[in-house]
């Protein structure tokens, strides 16, 4: 599409042009970033919200100057078009626009004056609904028409990505009203692990039982200015003993989840998988990363990037099933699972492609349940529909995968961390396959990551007990 301007002599009084535009939350955030105007009346998701009378409660309104910029859009692209220059603009705002409003912006020529000066009536109105056709803003613009013909391609501007993490917000909101999950926190004798556990307690996500050296835990709490009154502490001197005691608390029915504190992951998991007295089930344990990526319609689940180094086919069956179960607990009715490899064709020289094909067939035969499984898929045609179509892959999963199963730990770990550090994802995670979920928090995790990991454990616990997800949108057709 090309943009062509209209010269002064080609324009007649009464000529008109208009555009339609839907106001979105992203519009409000982008405008706030560009302008530096952080007025909470114009920003969704902030506590301070105002209606047109200045009273709280009706939600964010579109900035008036964002509305005015839409008039500039019509003038700069349609009437008179490229090369037009403003001299003046007046506006009277009759009402406010909000997210979801469809707006029509119209300019009409009411006078022509030399040299090349146009007087335009400008109007913004709301379309649809009970108030359809209602004027939001009216005014007059003085614009100099371009002096020469300009014809340009409709420029493709660089994409603007609004970095929001609504999926994690939704997961945390789904936990509201649930009883706190009794959780053994193993060796929380450093500031990061203890503070993370206490923040999760304060958020109502877990009811922590601190298992470790009591004197060290209390000393850390004092350094944090934290009061441990009312928190159960089981005094155990060494990490291995603390892990074993935490597992015993599960068997005693005192806790329904474990959280890693200031000890090595192997020390905790060795107690979990111990053949006698551990928390083994008939499944292999595996870790599932849950990633909130800006611009993606659902959370992305990646497994296994933390525990199983080079899983074989039998282990991958459990890895897939664990990931599907967590995705369902997080609100995906029938998760779409892409089994990744370097290529999307079954290639005997690449063993992961054979595993992927077998996993797909096992899902078809009901040996893996609850999700749609397809593979092998390369990363591009797993998550990008255009790439999948270009390569002629017809599948319910290709291009729309919500769960990614990686060939081995190295590839999964690199993928998850690339998404965090290069694609601005927020990450949380959970170990599944044991009798209870295990939260493997890390010193590198921020407070939000720890909280969401606790929310994952709480949601999975609820899903196992009730067979349904607490998350809004669960059961929707994807």
Asked whether the beta carbons of 160 and 139 are under 8 A apart, the reply is no
Task: Using the structure block, give the residue that is written with the tokens 């690339």.
Answer: 418
Q: What number does CATH give the domain 285-433?
A: 3.40.718.10
Q: Which CATH superfamily is domain 2-153 in?
A: Hotdog Thioesterase (3.10.129.10)
* CATH 3.10.129.10 residue spans of the chain: 2-153
Please state, in angstroms and as integers, the Cα–Cα distance from residue 98 to each residue in 43, 55, 254, 439, following that order: 11, 16, 49, 40
The Cα 41–Cα 56 span in angstroms is 9
Q: What is the pLDDT of residue 40?
A: 85
457, 276 in Cβ contact below 8 A? Answer: no
Gap between the Cα atoms of 409 and 304, Å rounded? 6
Question: CA–CA separation, 196 vs 198, rounded Å?
Answer: 5
* pLDDT tens track, the chain, 478 positions: 688 999 999 999 999 999 999 998 889 988 988 899 888 888 876 644 454 444 444 568 899 999 999 999 999 999 999 999 999 999 999 999 998 899 999 999 999 998 999 999 999 999 976 666 789 999 999 999 999 999 888 767 777 766 667 899 999 999 999 999 999 999 999 999 999 999 999 999 999 999 999 999 999 999 999 999 999 999 999 999 999 999 999 999 999 999 999 999 999 999 999 999 999 999 999 999 999 998 788 999 999 999 999 999 999 999 999 999 999 999 999 999 999 999 999 999 999 999 999 999 999 999 999 999 999 999 999 999 999 999 999 899 999 999 999 999 999 999 999 999 998 899 999 999 999 999 998 767 778 888 999 999 999 999 999 999 988 764 443 4
pTM: 0.78
Distance CA 476, CA 300 (A): 17
Q: What is the pLDDT of residue 268?
A: 95
Number of helices followed by number of strands (H, E) in the chain: 13, 18
3-state secondary structure of 314: helix
Contact yes or no for 384/369 (Cβ under 8 A)? no
CA separation for the pair 448, 469 (Å, rounded):
21
**What distances in angstroms separate CA 337 from CA 180, 241, 295, one per listed residue?**
31, 38, 19
Residue 167 three-state SS: helix
Q: Say how many C-beta atoms besides its own lie within 10 A of residue 312's C-beta.
A: 11
pLDDT for 49 = 47
Is 107:17 a contact under the CB 8 Å cutoff? yes
d(CA 215, CA 463): 37
Strands (E), 58-101: 85-93
Distance CA 340, CA 401 (A): 10
Q: What's residue 105's pLDDT?
A: 96
Residues of the chain with CATH 3.40.718.10: 285-433
Beta-carbon contacts of 383 under 8 Å, excluding residues fewer than 6 positions away, are 338, 399, 400, 401, 404
Q: Which two tokens stand for residue 268?
A: 């905790």
Residues 457 and 287 sit within 8 Å (Cβ to Cβ): no
Please give the Cα distance from 180 to 437 (Å, whole number). 14
State residue 42's pLDDT score.
85
User: Residue 64, CB half-sphere, CA atoms under 13 Å: how many?
Assistant: 11
Q: What is the pLDDT of residue 399?
A: 94
Decide: helix, strand or coil at residue 292. strand
DSSP state of 8: G
């Amino acid at each position: 599409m090309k943009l062509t301007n209209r010269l002064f002599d080609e324009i007649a009084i009464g000529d008109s042009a208009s555009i339609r535009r839907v106001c979105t939350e992203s519009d409000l955030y982008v405008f706030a970033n560009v302008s530096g105007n952080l007025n909470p009346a114009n920003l969704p998701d902030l506590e301070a919200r105002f209606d047109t009378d200045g009273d709280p409660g009706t939600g964010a309104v579109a900035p008036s100057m964002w509305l005015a910029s839409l008039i500039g859009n019509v003038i700069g692209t349609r009437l008179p078009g490229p090369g037009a220059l403003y001299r003046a603009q007046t506006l009277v705002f009759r009402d406010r626009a909000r997210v979801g409003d469809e707006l029509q912006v119209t300019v009409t020529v009411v006078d022509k004056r030399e040299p090349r000066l146009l007087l335009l009536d400008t109007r913004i109105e709301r379309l649809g609904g009970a108030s359809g056709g209602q004027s939001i803003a009216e005014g007059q613009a003085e614009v100099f028409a371009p002096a020469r013909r300009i014809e340009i391609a409709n420029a493709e501007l660089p994409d603007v990505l609004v970095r929001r993490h609504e999926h994690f917000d939704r997961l945390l909101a789904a936990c509201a009203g649930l009883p706190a999950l009794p959780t053994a926190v193993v060796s929380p004798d450093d500031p990061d692990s203890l503070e993370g556990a206490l923040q999760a307690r304060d958020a109502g996500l877990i009811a922590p039982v601190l298992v470790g050296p009591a004197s060290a835990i209390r000393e850390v709490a004092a350094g944090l200015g934290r009061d441990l009154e009312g928190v159960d502490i089981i005094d155990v001197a060494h990490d291995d003993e603390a892990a074993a005691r935490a597992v015993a608390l599960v068997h005693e029915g005192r806790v329904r989840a474990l959280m890693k504190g200031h000890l090595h992951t192997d020390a905790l998991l060795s107690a979990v998988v111990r053949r006698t007295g551990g928390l083994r089930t008939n499944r292999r344990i595996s870790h599932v990363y849950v990633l909130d990526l800006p611009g993606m319609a659902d959370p992305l689940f990646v497994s296994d990037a933390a525990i199983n180094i080079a899983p074989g086919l039998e282990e991958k069956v459990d890895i897939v099933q664990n990931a599907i179960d967590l995705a369902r607990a997080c609100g995906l009715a029938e998760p779409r699972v892409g089994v990744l490899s370097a290529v999307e064709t079954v290639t005997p020289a690449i063993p992961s492609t054979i595993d992927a094909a077998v996993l797909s067939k096992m899902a078809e035969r009901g040996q893996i349940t609850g999700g749609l499984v397809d593979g092998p898929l390369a990363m591009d045609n797993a998550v990008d529909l255009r790439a999948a179509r270009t390569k002629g892959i017809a599948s319910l999963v290709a291009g729309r995968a919500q769960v990614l199963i990686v060939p081995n730990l190295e590839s999964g770990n690199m993928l998850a961390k690339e998404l965090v550090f290069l694609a601005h994802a927020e990450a949380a995670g959970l170990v599944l396959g044991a009798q209870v979920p295990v939260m493997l928090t890390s010193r590198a995790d921020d407070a939000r990551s720890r909280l969401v990991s606790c929310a994952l454990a709480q949601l999975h616990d609820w899903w196992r007990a009730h067979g349904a997800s607490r998350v809004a949108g669960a059961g929707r057709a994807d």
